[in-house]
Structure formats: structure tokens, C-alpha cells
Structure 1
Amino acid sequence: MANILVVDDELGIRDLLFEILNDEGHNVELAENAAAARTARQRERPDLVLLDIWMPDTDGVTLLKEWSAAGLLSMPVIMMSGHATIDTAVEATRIGAAAFLEKPITLKKLLKEVEKCLQREDTARPDAAQAAAAAPASVPAAAPAANGPAAPATAPVLAAVPPTPVDTGPQARQTFDLDRPLREVRDAFEKAYFEFHLAMENGSMTRVAEKTGLERTHLYRKLKQLGVDLSKGKKTAL
């Protein structure tokens, strides 16, 4: 899970990227222009920034230069644009952009570039847990017995925990009233069908889209049309 800042002046794109990245388990913060992006960058360092090039106040390339000159380009930045030229993409890469995505952005390419940049960042900046794992562990010596050699240390025995059964909810046991009009029965079936897959995939829209064979934006529209509560698919860890 990473902290991702999305900077784009188009509300629809911001909302779509938020839904996609949040569904993948990331913490997502949104900024509608360069001024809001500066504030978000000062408040908390993101692990990754998705930055639009064409914005009304300050364009993305200028903001990228500003961060680079101030030594604030300590995170990977993916540039986004639907109108940029090859020269613009080359300039952004030269300044320090990690990748460039051309709009309209496909889901597969977006997730691929995000994963690639985050993996690169993790490799360049190992966390404390990785450092601790690499360090040799010190094992305290066992106390000697009163009149004999030291007793060997014994490892604690861990009890086996049985797997928790998957709760698919009432969707798996759904029945339908066949005396109702066809459209109503069909909508009820589709709602139960999608609720079942949301529960099985722990609310992941990406995996549900793959399982049901629907394009992601079509899937969102379908779920809203059927009145499916997306929050029910996500299980809360205790």
C-alpha cells in the first residue's frame, strides 16, 4: 500500500483514478491544480505522484521543474497528458519524470506503470523492516543448569490455525420470484451475481472486472444502475 497524489484539473479523471487506485489498496490524495499539489507535497511526502501536464494555473512540466530545483523530487512522478508532444515527454523525462502516460489511459497500462514505479522506489529506499531482516539476529545463550551443561534452546511450538472459511454472504443462497416481470427478475439476478463476486474478491473492482469480463468503467456504471453497495464487498480486518 502506498500514498499516491493525483494532480489533474479534470474532476472526472481525478474521481476515476481515485476509485481505481483506492480499490488497489492505496491511500490516494487528490489535487485539482499545481497550488493544491504544492500544499499536499509539503504536508506529507507521497510515495508516487500522477501529474497532469496541461493545467490552468501552472502546467505539470513547470511544477516538475520547480520540485526538481528545490530538491523535492524525491518520489517518482508519472506525467499524464492527452495533448503533449514527443518533445514534451522527452523534456519531462529529462527533468526527472519516471514515466509518461498518454490519455485516455488504459487500466492495464496505468496499473503496470504504478506498480513498476513503486517497486523501483522500494528497491532504492529499503525500509526499516528490510534492514532489520538483513541484520544478523542475536540469540541469547541459554542459562546453564545448576550442575551440568547449558540446556539447548527450544523453539516455541505454534498451534496450527484452521483456515477461516470465505463468507460469500447471502448472495450464494439467493432465490428469485419467477412470478415477477422478466426485467425485475433479471435485475435482481444481476445484482446478486455482482454482489457475490464482490464478496468473493474482497471488493476488488479490478478482479471482479476480470472475472465478469466487463470493462472497468462499464462495470462501475452497471453496479450503480443496479444499486449495488460497493462498500459491502470490502471486508474490514479485525
Structure 2
Amino acid sequence: MARILVVDDEVGIRELLSEILYDEGHTIELAENAAQARAARLRMRPDLVLLDIWMPDTDGVTLLKEWGSQGLLDMPVIMMSGHATIDTAVEATRIGAIDFLEKPITLQRLLKTISTGLARGRLPVVKSASGAFVPVVPTTAAPVTAMQEPAEAVAAAAAVVAAPLDPSLLGDISLELPLREARDAFERVYFEYHLARENHSMTRVSDKTGLERTHLYRKLKQLGIESRKRGG
């Protein structure tokens, strides 16, 4: 799958995102500050970066700007924050971030945003007339970038921060739950669906979900459905 760099000074957020993305089959690198993020960016050349805005040494927007000025912003970067304003989101998208996730991050929003970012892939970086490095984005691309007009950036960033998620997409999973509980609730429904559909055949469920059997057994036990009848 993809190489994803998660940059956040909160250990709980790093561990949670790492667990979720590992379950999705990605290779994860963690960084708790800008210094570690710089080293990881050069070492692993990530396919995508999840970057927290508020960090103690260098904030995420400053690091994003630094990568952009050095021509290192060829990978999709998704900003994260629980306290950012629309102005901050607009600034980040103008610099080159492709999207913005507001904490607490819902599982569906996280996975959808990452999928969109990975689908975009790497972009060539060129030096503009002003001397700044900017990614070359196809004219059909939907994400907000530094090459869009300011009015478009403002509207898109405002929509990211303010637009409510349609609750009908979540079924019985409440948006008021903490992220970990919401994720567990979703995964429980997901695996129960596939178990029933495949008549509890672990081989077929493993194929459908993309998890190898040992990992699948461990996941079912973690979700509290290990007592159910499971076959083949």
C-alpha cells in the first residue's frame, strides 16, 4: 500500500492513527515534532503526510512552508488540528496542503481524505516566477492548492472546516463518540457484515477484508466477537 508519515506531538493521536492506518495495510512512520518529521521526510520519502498544526518546536504550517520553499512538497499533505481557524486552513491550502482534518477526526473522513490524497499521487514541483517552489496540479484536480485563486481557496477551506457530515452515512454510529470508540463501532459492524455474508468462513472473510488470518482473529477478539461461531 502506501508509506504514510504521521506528525503529531500527542502520543495518543499518533498511536491511534498508526493503528488505524496499519489495519488499512499502510506502512507508517511516526514523528512527534518538526525535527523528526524533516528526517523522516528525507529518509522514507512518504506517499502522504498527516501533519498537525500545533506543535511545540515548529508548527505544522511553518514546516509546510519550509518544505514548499525547498521544493520538497511533492507529496500530498493533510493538515490536522483541533483549534485551527478558517484563516489557518486557508493559509495551509495556499501553501500546498491538499486538505484539512478537524480533530476529533471521524474514521470515515480520515480514510476518505487519505484515499483522495493517495489517488492524487505525487506531483512535479516547479519554481515559480517569484522563486517559490509549487506543485504542478492538473486543472481538473479538486483539492485546493497554492495555484488556485484566493476566493476559491477561502470557499473550499471554509467548507472543510464548517460543513457537517451527513449522519445518515454512519448508520447507528454516533458522531458524539470518541474517535477510538467510533472506529471500534464501525469495525464491529464491518466485520459482522462480512462474517454473516461469508457464512463465518475465515478464509473468505480474510480474502474480502485483506487481513491475513492471524491478524483477523486478533481483530475479532479485540472487537468482542471472538465467541461467535467461525468456520473455514
**TM-score, with normalisation over the residues of structure 2?**
0.56
Q: What is the rounded CA distance, in whole Å, between the counterparts of 2:55 and 2:62 in structure 1?
A: 10
**Greater relative contact order (CA < 8 Å, ≥ 6 in sequence):** 2
Q: Does 1:53 align with 2:53?
A: yes
SS of 2:120's equivalent in the other structure is helix
Q: Does 1:201 align with 2:205?
A: yes
Percent of aligned pairs sharing the same letter:
66
The aligned counterpart of 2:81 is 81
SS of 2:121's equivalent in the other structure is helix
Change (3 A) 1:37 1:198: farther
Residue 83 of structure 1: how far off its partner (Å): 0.3
Residue 22 of structure 1: how far off its partner (Å): 1.0
1:8 alignment partner AA: D
Q: What is the rounded CA distance, in whole Å, between the counterparts of 1:198 and 1:15 in structure 2?
A: 31
Q: What is the rounded CA distance, in whole Å, between the counterparts of 2:201 and 2:10 in structure 1?
A: 29
Residue 64 of structure 1: how far off its partner (Å): 0.3
Change (3 A) 1:77 1:53: same
SS of 1:201's equivalent in the other structure is helix
Residue 225 of structure 1: how far off its partner (Å): 8.2
Q: What is the rounded CA distance, in whole Å, between the counterparts of 1:56 and 1:12 in structure 2?
A: 16
Deviations 1:99-127 (A, max 9, x none): 000000000001101010111116x58xx
The aligned counterpart of 1:152 is none
Residue 19 of structure 1: how far off its partner (Å): 1.1
Q: What is the rounded CA distance, in whole Å, between the counterparts of 2:10 and 2:31 in structure 1?
A: 10
The aligned counterpart of 2:14 is 14
**TM-score, with normalisation over the residues of structure 1?**
0.55
Give the unaligned 5+ runs of structure 1: 126-192, 207-219, 229-238
Q: What is the rounded CA distance, in whole Å, between the counterparts of 1:198 and 1:116 in structure 2?
A: 32
Residue 51 of structure 1: how far off its partner (Å): 0.2
Q: What is the rounded CA distance, in whole Å, between the counterparts of 2:63 and 2:76 in structure 1?
A: 14
Change (3 A) 1:94 1:22: same
Give the unaligned 5+ runs of structure 2: 125-190, 212-218, 227-232
Instruction: Answer with 1 or 2: which has the greater Rg.
Output: 1
Residue 66 of structure 1: how far off its partner (Å): 0.5
Residue 198 of structure 1: how far off its partner (Å): 9.8
Deviations 1:23-50 (A, max 9, x none): 1111111111111100101112100000
Residue 21 of structure 1: how far off its partner (Å): 0.9
